[in-house]
Amino acid sequence: MTSLRESYLRCAQIARRHGKTYSTAAYLLTPSDRRHVFAIYAFCRVADDIVDEATDRPTEQTAAALAEFGDRFRTDLAAGTSSHPLLAAVVRTARELQIDPECFDRFLRSMTMDLTTSSYATWDDLVGYMDGSAAVIGEMMLPVLHPLTPEAFEPSRQLGVAFQLTNFLRDVGEDLDRGRLYLPREDLDRFDADPHTRRVDDPWRALMRFEIERTRAIYREADKGIPLLPRRSARCVATARILYSRILDRIEANDYDVFTRRARVPSAEKLWVAARSLLSPTAAG
């Protein structure tokens, strides 16, 4: 049987392997808070991987696997404990932070949508999906950050959306390989851009400029929440925000080629930003 300590270590390993930017920022928190970040991240990552790594099996099997994962979590959460190697930590975190169980349900519903929905007609449609796939993660993470006021709630949701939009723009090529596209069709039509050609032409550049600016506007809305956090939490969030938004800078530097080049922030730069934030008397570093 997996001990609670072993479960949290497993979550940390998943976070460090797959979420290097989040992990770098999380190390600005206390160890007790950091473990909660890793647990929430690991829950979301494992559920997402159930969907993304199921290219060779029927949709029904993937849906069943995702439902089984969710059912096990709900059962263990109601019991207050778990023997599952991953969920033991997630259950403890959810109960300790008093995270609304509906948050996990909303996330799993969006993951289930990925099994049957391959594109989104409008921006509002995409926002509906991101409520469960991104904004809700901001809601789940907020108790870890010990906000000074309830007004931090909406900026935390917006930061989750900005992070995911950044991922969508970086990963257009990879998502196409999975048969999905997270750019609204109304935007593609507006700019006469076709990502399926995987060609960086003027319409594609115009579309990406538009999407990047929209994402940056959401980051600016999210920034309003940073002063509403205690200093340590503010430094953590500011670091993650700075690092993740720099992916957009890399996309621009790559001439909006998200088909043959992956926009990355070097590890040395991540460590430098985190160190500067830690040593600075201000939250933003």
pLDDT digits (tens, 9 = 90+) for 29-77: 999 999 999 999 999 999 999 998 766 778 999 999 999 999 999 999 9
Take residue 113 and report the two structure tokens written for it: 């949508």
Is the pLDDT at 139 greater than 80, yes or no? Answer: yes
Any idea which of 106-110, 130-134, 155-159, 269-273 has the lowest mean pLDDT? 269-273
pTM of the model: 0.93
- Every domain range in the chain assigned CATH 1.10.600.10: 117-285
Query: Which among 201, 170, 130, 139 is positioned nearest to 264, based on CA atoms?
Result: 170
CA–CA–CA angle 185, 223, 244 (5° rounding): 60
Dihedral sign (CA 160, 161, 164, 170): negative
How do residues 161-216 score in pLDDT, each as one tens digit? 999 999 999 999 999 999 999 999 999 999 999 999 999 999 999 999 999 999 99
Angle at 277 between CA 252 and CA 169, to 5 degrees: 25
Question: In this structure, how many other beta carbons lie within 10 angstroms of the beta carbon of residue 76?
Answer: 18
Q: Does residue 156 surpass a pLDDT of 80?
A: yes
Contact present, 200 and 257 (Cβ < 8 Å): yes
Q: What CA–CA distance (Å, rounded) separates 26 from 66?
A: 27
Q: What letter does residue 149 receive in the DSSP assignment? A: S
Q: Reply yes or no on whether the pLDDT at 1 is more than 90.
A: no
Give residues with Cβ within 8 angstroms of 36, minimum separation 6. 93, 96, 97, 143, 144
Q: Does domain 117-285 have CATH number 3.40.50.11540?
A: no
| Cα distance between residue 8 and residue 12, in whole Å | 6
Rounded distance between C-alpha atoms, residue 277 and residue 282, angstroms: 8
**Contact in structure between 259 and 9 (CB atoms under 8 Å):** no
Q: What is the pLDDT of residues 227-285, one digit of tens each?
A: 999 999 999 999 999 999 999 999 999 999 999 999 988 878 877 787 777 666 444 43
Average pLDDT estimate for 123-134: 98
pLDDT of residue 280: 63
